[in-house]
Structure 1
Amino acid sequence: MNSQYSQTSRPSPLTRWAVLLFVSMAMFGNYYIFDALSPVVDLLQSDLGFTYKQIGWLWSAYNVAAVCILLVGGYIIDRFGTKKAITFFAAVCLAAAALRAATPHFEVMLAGQILLGLGAEPLIVAATATLAKWFRGKELSFAFGLNLSISRLGSASADWSTSFASPLYTNWQDPLWLATAVAGISVTAAILYWITENRVERGNYQLGEADAPDKLDVKSMFSFSASYWYIVALCVVFYATVFPFRSFAIDYFQQAHGLTREAAGLLSSMLPVAAIVATPLFGLWVDRVGKRSLFMAAGSLVMLPLFLMVTYLPPGPMVTIGLPFIGFDQAPLTLFIVMLMLGGVFSLIPAVMWPSVAYIVSEKRLGSAYALMTFCQQIGWAAVPLVVGFLNDKYLAGPSNIDGYIPSMWFYTCLAALGLVFSFKLWQTERGPGSHGLETITTKSQL
């Protein structure tokens, strides 16, 4: 990183938690923008005539753009600092959201998704590096957990918009303009973070001497340890499984299970809702007990059967789901339970995985390490929506052919199996002589 706080003059806890709040609110808007496309998948098909393949390209274009920017983005973060990077990339996301909502042309919407990928993923890397800088040795996993919870509140809010903003869903465009308005939250929060860090730099708390940023040297990046690469591999298959499933989930619940848009949105939101509650708790727990690689393996094991459960188990009785001030609807019990379980996994693995990198990689290389990790993540993530879109079109998936969705569910399951393999290899490595303390480091051990 370009700066490091001295151990003798740390900013106050209030300042640190204010930074966490501002960075998390920037992430809230970022997540909302990304997930706002999911509730309008069927409207893009009915209003604009988009195919599943075209919709898959919209998701993949985001990831391809992220792949192109992330290594450079990590260098920008290390070179110019997190406060400038977060503000710049938040502004890019705002512009992308406006472009995506502007016209009904596929090419323009595709350009908006590309611009969003250029801004959103480096913004996530910058936010991750910020928390690592401000909370290393100070409830780091708990801070990551709170950040992820607030971020995923953005995802849940995008799903909930099918209820609280239901009048907008008479067309495809109005919900995307709402997402553009929410994008303003990211920019505002980023500016507040910049102001806060400036005050710390000018105030009683002195910043340490700036570390020299790493050169953008791809060869040196690949010198990271085996544990780092097992975490990267798990990151790739985990997000390539969960996020594409979420992208198509509302449409899948509507077409394959006959739910209304409102019920499908509420059911899809159960995943981030569970994560909002559980992620900081898992982070706090792991800070106290360690066992990070073991927790990642356990989460991967739980995720393995979930997509087949959605496909093959009886739906069960209808239950009421929803939240006050958001809305209530009916959904099958089996789907509700599976989404809560997936939400638990969606809480546990990221809450442990991302902060674990800070214990493996030196601080001055964190920006590059997180960027490289996210770069690899995006390569896998980019391919999956195209495969799912291809499978759904090939097997004529739809309300008249529900079995057409089965191949994509098996595809998700195969990816989950790979995640279990990589997390088990990480656990084996961290129990051996080359460990980095992922199993043993706790808040008490660092006092």
Structure 2
Amino acid sequence: MTDTTAHALPRPSPAQRWLALILVSVAMFGNYYVYDAFGPVVDLLREQEGFSYDQISMIFSAYSVAAVLVLLVGGYVIDRWGTKRAITLFAVICLAAAALMASTARFETMLAGRFLLGLGAEPLIVAATAVLAKWFKGKELSFAFGINLSIARLGSASADWSTSFASPLYANWQDPLWLATGVAAVGVTAAMLYWTTESRLEGRVNLGQADATDRLELKGMYAFSASYWYIVGLCVVFYATVFPFRAFAIDYFQQAHGLDRETAGMLSSLLPVAAIVVTPLFGLWVDRVGRRSLFMAVGSLAMLPLFVLVTYAPPGPDIGIWIPFAGSAQVPLTLLLVMLMLGGVFSLIPAVMWPSVAYIVRENRLGAAYSMMTLCQQIGVALVPLAVGRFNTAFAAGPGNPAGYAPGMWFYTALAGLGLAFSWLLWRAESGPGAHGLEYSSGRKPE
């Protein structure tokens, strides 16, 4: 399709845009569920199969190591091959990875399964992000990103809730992972339906495919602006803090705070639950008022004290919570407030951060830009679990020594401080003459 022909076609209708959003988001739901399904079985693997914290950390990190390797070319593959094919291929890889991890408790096999998940899941997220930028740019982009993240995080929350709604499966470590494999199959189905939908609309609507795709030349491909790299820096430390914390959260709440599995799972789920509700609202708000870099700085500041609070603050009275389909539980007030606040931060920063890249980077380089951003993120996410696992082992963290978890929490706090520094640098850059207009509601400076 030529540039002239593309611009002569109408943009997708609202119904077409939202159908694409739903299908891509369901594919990501399956992806997120599989990623987080491992956390609730950590203690079972330790008790039933003799896994150590160091081994668990290596399994978590294998995902990110694979993501780093594949994302170097993932953006190029997506830009050249097309999002509809890419998103289906990567969803199938996630399904295969889920089945491999559920098949045996052999450490090497689980390591390979998690590695395979990294090869599929992160490029799938990049492809989905590029889809939204293509269908929604100039049309409630931040709101669409918020909806997408909400549905995806419902997958994370559902993995935590499975400790309640699928509690009979937790008699062993394996059955919950087979459940995750079934959820991954639903994600593959959604990805195939998206492929069909985009194929039917080709030549009938303008999806912004006007420019040629860049060649894979690292010097030119990733020579982005300073604002882009500040966003990347924030992305790295933000996810390298939140994701590893979530990975160990259920085990941490059981061992350090004495909660049972169902209560720990519900408490951990509050982080994605808060994000599910609030992320679209933040996205809609930011579309209207702008101030993107300022909001990222505010979110980074709010995260700074949370890991110290969860470690040292008095637990306070137990508060009853109820979540549909998951049940009810009594949780300490301090832990409840910290998880809700972290959920708010987990809503605000991603709802602003990811769509901001679409205003800074040319459309035909979005796949490359999002791949580089996710690649850098995964380097951090690969290293932090190893460090936290080493802290837990070195300081003999466990139910008999809850204080042994404190060094890991201070490490998270230091990362949060680094994120605040990156967000401040971004705010300063976007307040100067070389700004890209992130502070304005339209995403560009007024004429």
Q: TM-score, with normalisation over the residues of structure 2?
A: 0.97
SS at structure 2 position matched to 1:404 = helix
The 8 Å contact of residues 90 and 123 in structure 1, kept in 2 or not, is answered as yes
Distance (whole Å) between structure 1 residues aligned to residue 209 and residue 381 of structure 2? 38
Q: CA deviation at 1:329?
A: 1.1
CA offsets, 1:357-410, max 9 Å, x none? 000000000000000000111111100000000000000000000000000000
CA offsets, 1:50-77, max 9 Å, x none? 0000000011100000000002111110
Task: Report matched runs for 1:173-188 at 5 Å.
Answer: 173-188=174-189
- 1:373 is aligned to 373
Give, as a single letter, the amino acid of the residue that structure 1 aligns with 2:97: A
SS at structure 1 position matched to 2:91 = helix
Distance (whole Å) between structure 1 residues aligned to residue 285 and residue 270 of structure 2? 22
Task: Report matched runs for 1:219-230 at 5 Å.
Answer: 219-230=219-230
Q: Does 1:21 align with 2:22?
A: yes
- 2:81 is aligned to 80
Q: CA deviation at 1:322?
A: 2.7
Distance (whole Å) between structure 2 residues aligned to residue 226 and residue 5 of structure 1? 32
Give, as a single letter, the amino acid of the residue that structure 2 aligns with 1:425: L
Distance 1:428 1:208, change over 3 A: closer
The 8 Å contact of residues 37 and 160 in structure 2, kept in 1 or not, is answered as yes
Give, as a single letter, the amino acid of the residue that structure 2 aligns with 1:343: G
Q: CA deviation at 1:206?
A: 5.5
The 8 Å contact of residues 2 and 80 in structure 1, kept in 2 or not, is answered as no
Structure 1 regions of 5+ residues with no counterpart? none
Q: Does 1:51 align with 2:42?
A: no
Q: Over the residues paired in the alignment, what is the CA RMSD in angstroms? A: 1.8
- 1:317 is aligned to 317
Distance 1:21 1:403, change over 3 A: same
Distance (whole Å) between structure 2 residues aligned to residue 340 and residue 83 of structure 1? 36
- 1:146 is aligned to 147
Give, as a single letter, the amino acid of the residue that structure 2 aligns with 1:33: V
The 8 Å contact of residues 137 and 446 in structure 1, kept in 2 or not, is answered as no
* Over 2 Å off, 4+ runs: 1-8, 204-211, 441-447
- 1:298 is aligned to 298
The 8 Å contact of residues 135 and 207 in structure 2, kept in 1 or not, is answered as no
- 1:60 is aligned to 61
Q: CA deviation at 1:5?
A: 5.5
Distance (whole Å) between structure 2 residues aligned to residue 143 and residue 209 of structure 1? 19
Distance (whole Å) between structure 2 residues aligned to residue 314 and residue 297 of structure 1? 28
Give, as a single letter, the amino acid of the residue that structure 2 aligns with 1:219: K
- 1:260 is aligned to 260
Distance (whole Å) between structure 2 residues aligned to residue 366 and residue 444 of structure 1? 17
Distance (whole Å) between structure 2 residues aligned to residue 205 and residue 306 of structure 1? 46
Distance (whole Å) between structure 2 residues aligned to residue 38 and residue 223 of structure 1? 37
CA offsets, 1:223-244, max 9 Å, x none? 2100000000000000000000
- 1:113 is aligned to 114
Query: What is the count of residue pairs matched by the alignment?
Result: 446
Distance (whole Å) between structure 1 residues aligned to residue 286 and residue 372 of structure 2? 24
Distance (whole Å) between structure 2 residues aligned to residue 37 and residue 206 of structure 1? 41
Distance (whole Å) between structure 2 residues aligned to residue 345 and residue 353 of structure 1? 12
The 8 Å contact of residues 240 and 380 in structure 1, kept in 2 or not, is answered as yes
The 8 Å contact of residues 231 and 422 in structure 2, kept in 1 or not, is answered as yes
- 2:160 is aligned to 159
SS at structure 1 position matched to 2:202 = helix
Structure 2 regions of 5+ residues with no counterpart? none
Percent of counterpart pairs with the same letter?
A: 71
Distance (whole Å) between structure 2 residues aligned to residue 206 and residue 284 of structure 1? 24
Distance (whole Å) between structure 2 residues aligned to residue 362 and residue 74 of structure 1? 14
Distance (whole Å) between structure 1 residues aligned to residue 446 and residue 235 of structure 2? 27
